[in-house]
Amino acid sequence: MDDLSPRQREILDFLIATVDQTGVFPSYREIGRALDIGSTNGVSDHLRALERKGYIERVGGRGASRSTRLTHKAQDRVSHDGIVGVPLVGRVAAGPLHAAVEDYTATLRVDSSMLPRSGEVIALTIHGDSMIEEGIHDGDTLFVQRTESVRNGEVAVVLVDGEATCKFFFREKGRIRLQPANKDMDPIYVHEAQDDVTVVGRAVGVWRRL
C-alpha cells in the first residue's frame, strides 16, 4: 500500500520528473514555486517526511557540503526502462496572449525516444486555435524543450510582458514576429528594445487525447 499522502505523492512525482530531466535535485525555491508552497520551511517539512519514509536521503559527511538525492525506493515507483518523467507545468495560449501559468500540475511518463536526447523538456496545455494549421489544437499537450534561443521558423513558446503564447518565431529587423498557423488570425509583433520578451523554448512534440 502507498504510504504517501496525496500531497507527498505530488511532491515526490515532481522530484522524480525533475531529476529525470536535469539530473539535479531541485532547490527548495524551485520546489516551492512549482508546487505553490509559500515558504522554505514548508518545503523542508515535506522533504523531512519523505526522508523519514525512505524516499529521499541526505548525503555527505561531517564538514562537507551535503546534498539530497532520491533513494532506490523512490526510483522503484516508476519504470526507468526508457521512460522519463516530464512535468506538466501549466498552459499556454495558441491565440491571443494569455497570462502564463507555470504551476506544476502532474508528471507525464513518456518514452525517451519521443523526446530530444538532451536538454530539459516540460509539458504545457494548449489554449486556443491559432496553431491549428500546424496540427496543434486547443487542449493538446505541447512538449517544449527549454532554451533561450530558437531559429526563425520554429514553433516556440514565448513570454511577452509576462504573458505566454505559442507561435512560429521570426526575428526581423528590430522586432520579433509571432506568426499564427491560422489564416483567420494576424501575427503578433513585439519590439525587442521596448517589450519584455523571453523565449521559454521550442516545441518538440504534441500529444492529444482522443
Phi–psi pair at 73, nearest 5 degrees: -60, -40
Note whether 114 and 69 are same-domain residues: no
Note whether 10 and 104 are same-domain residues: no
User: In the predicted model, what is the mean pLDDT of residues 56-66?
Assistant: 66
- What pTM did the predictor assign? 0.69
Q: In the listed set 51, 75, 99, which residue is the last one of a domain according to the structure?
A: 75
Active site residues: 130, 167
Domain membership flag for residue 1: no
Alpha-carbon dihedral of residues 123, 129, 135, 138, nearest 10 degrees? 50
Note whether 107 and 174 are same-domain residues: yes
Distance CA 201, CA 129 (A): 20
Note whether 60 and 104 are same-domain residues: no
Question: Domain span at residue 14?
Answer: 6-75
Q: In the listed set 75, 99, 131, which residue is the last one of a domain according to the structure?
A: 75
Q: Which three cell numbers stand for residue 94?
A: 495558441
User: In the predicted model, what is the mean pLDDT of residues 176-194?
Assistant: 91
Note whether 118 and 163 are same-domain residues: yes
Q: Tell me: pLDDT of 80 over 60.
A: no
Mean pLDDT (the chain) is: 86
Count of structural domains, the chain: 2
Write out the H or E segment, with its range, that includes residue 125: strand 121-127
Q: What pLDDT, in 10s, does the model give residues 81-109?
A: 577 788 888 888 888 788 776 677 788 88
Note whether 91 and 182 are same-domain residues: yes
Q: What pLDDT, in 10s, does the model give residues 151-174?
A: 999 999 999 888 889 999 999 988
Q: What band does 78 get if pLDDT is binned at 50, 70 and 90? A: low
Q: What pLDDT, in 10s, does the model give residues 109-127?
A: 888 888 887 788 999 999 9
